[in-house]
Amino acid sequence: MIIQPKVRGFICTTAHPAGCQAAVKEQIDYVKAQPHADGPKKVLVIGASMGYGLASRITAAYSFGAATIGVIFDKPAAGNRTASSGWYNTAAFENFAHADGLYAKTINGDAYSQDIKEQTIALIKQDLGQVDLVVYSLAAPRRTMADGTTYSSVLKTVGAPYTNKTIDLKKRVVSDITVEPATEEEIAATVKVMGGEDWKDWMDALKAAGALSEQALTVAYSYIGPDITHPMYADGSIGKAKDHLFATSQQLTAEGIPAYISVNKALVTQSSAAIPIVPLYISILYKVMKAHGNHEGCIEQMYRLMNQKLYNGAAVTDDENRIRLDDLEMLPDIQSEVQALWSTIATENLDTHADIDGYFSDFYRLFGFGLDGVDYEADTDPSVLIPSLM
């Protein structure tokens, strides 16, 4: 079939296998071309099919030659429906890794569940014995507990409503939006989904099974950002979950597993596209950072994380033991330019104030569209197998 993007709200319901493969290859080629530190050889990535998790897996494999096990939650193609892009990314990654002589296997299922934890640990024990690094990169809208209770996360403020600018990306219109505060129940549910409880469950289960090597460490991802996004993010319901994630890193470390929070840059991913206000900030940030020549995507960020911050001698952290990959985003000259553009941005000056085309290009690329060298008119078979799941 001819596969074209079908965008609904902030997600694309189709994905292109050849495009996803090309996007994975670009990331692999980037890492291959960089110098490498001496890093972990056996790596588990939870949430490995897109965004920061996929880039973490690619970096571990191609910087350190690591064997990787990825936990994903993706759908294969069925009839006229394409697979999810995470499915195609994972198939492509495994194929490239195997061709390059690297071990790569995948577990597909709900990472929050006990069953998937057990399957993953059994695979580690059987094939790798132990792992040296656990990357926890889940971004999920909901979590179902063992008793069937489902918690849903919300992207709301805490305490008071917040009004600021936002963009309707489809109509390219800037308008004001008021984000309402979350209830106590919604905040608690968001912490259940995106806080550290499940990360701790994973680490406890891995430790109890003897699946962590002596030098094993773990990392999970967070975001802070500038004041304009704080009511929505750092001080909002998702921020409460990230506070819990941070507290979990301290608890894990105190219990003997060095655990880091890496504060990453704001980037277009399937998850960030859903947050009010933030996409407009991201498109201004892209404009400013590209002009300064210091714009990075997921792969540049994860390359830097692993090769320069985590495994280049002692971990490079701030005074709260957090790794700061948002260092370039938060540079004062970058933020003052973003702030100036933010204060005057409107529908009429979108093209001069923000990199909307860059935002869209990144958004479509998440689903394998708009990549050079891919024939989007070609008749394409949407059924692609992930080698280790055959």
In the complex, which residues of this chain contact ligand NAD (CB under 6 A)? 47, 49-53, 71-74, 86, 110-112, 137-140, 221-223, 264, 266-267, 269-272
Q: Nearest to residue 240, comparing CAs of 318, 185, 281?
A: 185
Residue closer to ligand NAD, measured from CB, 136 or 162:
136
Residue closer to ligand NAD, measured from CB, 35 or 78:
78
In the complex, the smallest distance separating the C-beta of residue 56 from ligand NAD, rounded to whole angstroms, is: 9
> Could you tell me how many residues make up the chain?
390
In the complex, the smallest distance separating the C-beta of residue 224 from ligand NAD, rounded to whole angstroms, is: 9
What are 233's two structure tokens? 């993010």
Q: From residue 231, how far is each of 142, 163, 285, 327 by CA, in Å?
A: 22, 9, 18, 21
CA of residue 165 relative to chain centroid, distance: 25
Residue closer to ligand NAD, measured from CB, 74 or 132:
74
In the complex, the smallest distance separating the C-beta of residue 269 from ligand NAD, rounded to whole angstroms, is: 3
Q: How many angstroms separate the CA atoms of 389 and 106, rounded?
A: 7
Residue closer to ligand NAD, measured from CB, 38 or 227:
227
Return phi, psi of residue 198, to 5°.
-70, -35
Q: How many angstroms separate the CA atoms of 299 and 102, rounded?
A: 19
In the complex, the smallest distance separating the C-beta of residue 305 from ligand NAD, rounded to whole angstroms, is: 11
Q: How many angstroms separate the CA atoms of 42 and 217, rounded?
A: 11
Q: Which long-range contacts (CB under 8 A, 24 or more apart) does 289-298 make?
A: 289/328, 289/329, 289/334, 290/355, 290/358, 292/333, 292/334, 294/328, 294/331, 294/334, 296/265, 296/328, 297/55, 297/267, 297/362, 298/27, 298/51, 298/52, 298/54, 298/55, 298/267, 298/269
Whether 233 is catalytic is: yes
In the complex, the smallest distance separating the C-beta of residue 227 from ligand NAD, rounded to whole angstroms, is: 17
Q: Nearest to residue 46, comparing CAs of 206, 232, 160, 167?
A: 206
Residue closer to ligand NAD, measured from CB, 266 or 350:
266
Beta strand 142-144 pairing with 150-152: antiparallel
In the complex, the smallest distance separating the C-beta of residue 140 from ligand NAD, rounded to whole angstroms, is: 3
Residue closer to ligand NAD, measured from CB, 137 or 237:
137
Could you say which of 233, 286, 303, 359 is catalytic?
Answer: 233
Task: Tell me which residues are annotated as active site.
Answer: 233
